[in-house]
Amino acid sequence: MQDPNSDVQACLARADIAAAPIPENERALMRFVELVTKHAYKTTDDDVEALRSVGWTDPQIAEAVYITAMFAFFNRVADAFGLEDPNYFATIPGWWAKAEETPG
Amino acid sequence: MARIRWVKESEATGDAATAYEEWFAANPGRPEVPGILKCFSLRPDFFRDVVNMSDRVHFSEGHLSRRIKEMIATLVSALNLCPY
């Protein structure tokens, strides 16, 4: 059976938030991640309020920002260093390792 | 090897060697240190901070599920036009 999560990951790997088969609250969070990634300076109170209105708590919103920024950090370093391994961060144990690599 | 020469596991000495040994001890069965982490080997102290930072966000009981965290990771890298 096709793993639904891999459909989600496939869409997000193309940055296709609209097509990802996810609930609307998660889609709103992904839109926020896109905003913070592309032009964080454009973030407004309404953007955060929109997340609260679909159920995200401030701790969850804050953590989403941390992870978004952390990955921007890794992406910048990987690009500056010119990592050849296209899947470079999939090799980080446990965290974002490919699903099949992590047992259970 | 990346375009900025990091410290290879086999050539590591001093604190870089120690930092790598600590990483291998914490990650049994891994053949080598992932490239993204080796980028930080020029500053072994910072290497440890980066390892701890990524562990903390992942392994600590956070507010977001691992699934959401991985979705964010995938999306951010796609947006950054990072090979994925």
* Number of domains into which chain B is organized: 1
Query: Can you tell me the distance from the alpha carbon of A98 to that of B70, in angstroms, rounded to the nearest whole number?
Result: 10
User: Counting Cβ atoms within 10 Å, is residue B9 exposed (0-12), middle (13-18) or buried (19+)?
Assistant: middle
pTM, two decimals, is: 0.84
Q: Is residue B6 part of a domain?
A: no
Q: Which domain holds residue B60?
A: 15-23+33-79
Q: Any CB–CB contact under 8 A between A26 and chain B?
A: yes
Q: State which residue of chain B sits closest to A62, comparing Cα positions.
A: B63
Distance of CA A60 to the CA centre of its chain: 13
Select from B30, B67, B79 the Cβ nearest to the Cβ of A34.
B79
For residue B7, is it within any domain?
Answer: no
Instruction: Summarize pLDDT for A74-92 with one digit per residue, the tens.
Output: 989 988 999 875 555 554 5
> What is the spatial distance between Cα B84 and Cα A16, in angstroms, rounded to a whole number?
14
Q: Which two tokens stand for residue B10?
A: 């086999």
| A 44-103 residues with CB < 8 A to B | 57, 59-60, 62-64, 66-68, 70-72, 74-96
Q: What is the ipTM of this complex?
A: 0.89
Cβ pair B80, A22 in contact under 8 A: no
Q: Are B43 and A55 in contact (CB under 8 A)?
A: no
| pLDDT (tens digit per residue) in B21-68 | 999 999 999 899 999 999 999 999 999 999 999 888 766 668 999 899
The answer to whether the CB atoms of B78 and A91 lie below 8 A apart is no
Name residue A80's amino acid: A
